[in-house]
Amino acid sequence: MKKKLLKNVEWSVLVVSILLVIIGAFALFSATQDAEYGEFKKQLQWLIISIPFLILAITIDYNVIIRFSSLAYIIIIALLVGVLFTEPISGASSWYKIGDSFTFQPSELAKVVVILFLAFILNKLQLRGKKEINKFWKLIIFLAFAAIPILLIIKQPDYGTATAFLTAVVFMLFVSGIDKRYIIAVCLIVAVSIPIVYNYVLPEHAIKRIQVFLNPDLDPRGAGYNIRQSKLAIGAGQVFGMGYRQGNQTQLGFLHPKTTDFIFSAIGEELGFVATGSIVILYIVLITKSIYIAKTAKDNIGSYVAIGIAGIFFFHFMENIGMTIGLLPITGVPLPFVSYGGSSLVTNFICIGLLLNISSRRQRAIFVE
């Protein structure tokens, strides 16, 4: 039985994630040479910490893991409420600070927990067959459970992570067989809501980011500074880069934060289009393989988990790279496996473990036609 499970495992997602971690490690080593490689060393420590979580996520049957998702959901909601009362870091109450150097971001772990719990709820709501989610009261129940963590994350405020959750929810609903009338209704509501939210809901700093995205020269030394430096860095790299550890914007401190939000820019400056193009290809492989795992899962609940994870990876990939080249507003979303961040790295490897877990038990395609 174990041999059969190993035979079915989609090892390519693990290989891609390891390659991205290696690229990220090289980039962090270069970007942190002026700070005694502090974040680089911490990232290696977090990588070691991630390994047992990865192994557990692979070996324990995902149906067993999902049984505990209700309890995990309650705990993570409590953590998301509690973090609102912590001291803000960079303007957001998103981290628990433990000791002098250790921080924990519950919204990262919430990605896994919420996807597992929503898959559990969606599966329960559809026990009588696919497309049961189209019953209005069932859809409201599902959306209510999804809205609680999203609203708490918006409250921090962390609009990027909240949008990542929304993307995962959309992916899961699509696979569940949501009716087109709901899709059209949501599109109309969003279209009507955008000007209202922009004028009356969004805080000033969020509006400033959108204005700078539409016109980068509006505040070149303030809100538009980071995106200008990012585009300069990527443009300077051209095809083969300026040379490893030789990027002007990266090494002279103009690119900030170069280890998290703008790590892609640092790679583009020093290693050029060859490296950044390779990163894009790796993410495309990771996302398409995640979707394939969802399509071939042995049951609905496995499909929902896999497609939710695909949604998270898809949003982070599109948003981070999009904002560094000026195609999307800056939201502070990290690049999975590449950017510095302990909570993010552990969470991403748990996601990879779950994908491997689901793929090892797959049988047939179950997407709704």
The angle subtended at Cα 84 by Cα 82 and Cα 87, nearest 5°, is: 105
Cβ count near 183 (within 10 Å): 13
Residue 360 DSSP SS3: helix
**Domain-embedded: residue 255:** yes
Q: Is 365 domain-assigned? A: no
Q: Is the sign of the CA dihedral 312, 334, 158, 217 positive or negative?
A: negative
Examine residue 49 and state whether it is found in any structural domain, yes or no: yes
- Are 153 and 93 spatial neighbours (Cβ–Cβ below 8 Å)? no
CB 285 within 8 A of CB 307: no
- Could you read off the pLDDT tens digit of each residue along the chain, which spans 369 residues? 455 566 778 999 999 999 999 999 999 999 998 888 889 999 999 999 999 999 999 999 999 999 999 999 999 999 999 999 988 877 788 888 877 667 889 999 999 999 999 999 999 998 776 678 888 899 999 999 999 999 999 999 898 999 999 999 999 999 988 888 888 888 888 888 888 888 877 777 778 778 877 777 777 777 788 888 999 999 999 999 999 999 999 898 888 889 999 999 999 999 999 999 999 999 999 999 999 999 999 899 999 999 999 999 999 999 999 999 988 888 889 999 999 998 999 999 999 999 999 999 876 544 444
What pTM does this model have?
0.92
Half-sphere exposure (Cβ direction) of 54: Cα atoms closer than 13 Å: 16
310 located within any domain: yes
Q: Which two tokens stand for residue 161?
A: 């992570």
Burial 114-144 (b: 16+ CB within 10 A, else e): bbbbbbbbbbebbeeeeebbbeeebbebbee
Q: Answer yes or no: is 261 within a domain.
A: yes
How many structural domains compose the chain?
Answer: 1
Cα 200 → chain centroid:
28
Residue 338 in contact with residue 263, Cβ under 8 Å?
Answer: yes
What's the CA angle centered on 200, arms 197 and 204, to 5 degrees? 95
d(CA 322, CA 283): 13
Full residue range of the structural domain in which residue 271 is found: 17-360
Q: What's the Cα-to-Cα distance from 292 to each of 15, 165, 241, 269, rounded to whole Å?
A: 16, 20, 34, 33
Tell me whether residue 58 is exposed, middle or buried, using C-beta atoms within 10 angstroms of its C-beta: 0 to 12, 13 to 18, 19 or more: buried
Coil, helix or strand for 93?
coil
Structural domain contains residue 3: no
- Cβ pair 276, 234 in contact under 8 A: yes
Does residue 5 lie within any of the structural domains? Answer: no
Q: Strand pairing partners for 89? A: 92
Return d(Cα 101, Cα 95) in angstroms, integer: 12
User: Is residue 11 in some structural domain?
Assistant: no
